[in-house]
Amino acid sequence: MDARVAIVTGASRGIGAAIAVRAAKAGYSVLVNYSSDAAGAASVVEEIRGCGGDALAHQADVSDPAAVGPMFDQAATLGPVTAVVNNAGITGNLIGDLVDVPPATVRRVMDVNVSGLIYVCQEAVRRLSTRTGGPGGSIVNISSTATKAGSPGTWAHYAASKGAVDVLTVGLASEVASQGIRVNGVAPGSTNTGLHAAAGMPDRVERLNPTIPMGRGAEPDEVAAAVMWLLSGEAGYVTGAVLPVAGGR
């Protein structure tokens, strides 16, 4: 029997890497997508293989629609793709008021976080839909609890892009529910990854801890656990949901 295959975009580090490793431990062969961090992706593949799993690293900028089909083709060499996790996302490595965000940064954030996610969802539906002979499966989109307050003074542009992710998740879930495809989202809160340091605020999660009812930020593996539940058969009647993983914040 062919292995189940999961595609995880933006999986060279942080939450994406944790999802890729968790998926492998759950029995998936994993395509570890990355845009520029080849060394990070290779490290994730090595970790998966060290645990007895199967994985491939594949470079593709999801904001380029011409790159998405070949990514799925590469994943298909591992077996039938039945799980797609849209984790690729950027903040533009910028923190500040919306008025100061350069147009080029706005465009790039929207291209990756919104357009790229749409392109991957489109290809996933083409490949997974039982209407066209596909095996069915599950799509999980990584959003953010930044959509709740809008991240004023920090990442309002990023929060706006994740709001689009939430709406897309709900709409697509309704479209493809009869085609054997479930579509859900996971919205992490403050999480201990390199995202904040890359934007110039390495202590941001620690500073936010007092505002979180559980008193701490999430670990990437805790977010990955929620993703894996949504991919699993235990969530077989769940679609169109966006699950916050934010310690009560």
Q: Classify residue 191 by its DSSP letter.
A: B
Residue 28 a catalytic site member = no
* 186 bridge partner residues: 142, 243
* 181 bridge partner residues: 137
Structure tokens at 164: 């689009």
Could you say which of 28, 34, 158, 237 is catalytic? 158
CA distances from 217 to 160, 198, 222 (A): 22, 17, 10
Phi and psi at 120, nearest 5°, equal -70, -40
CB atoms within 10 A of CB 165: 22
8 Å CB contact between 78 and 106: no
Task: Give me the active site residues, please.
Answer: 158
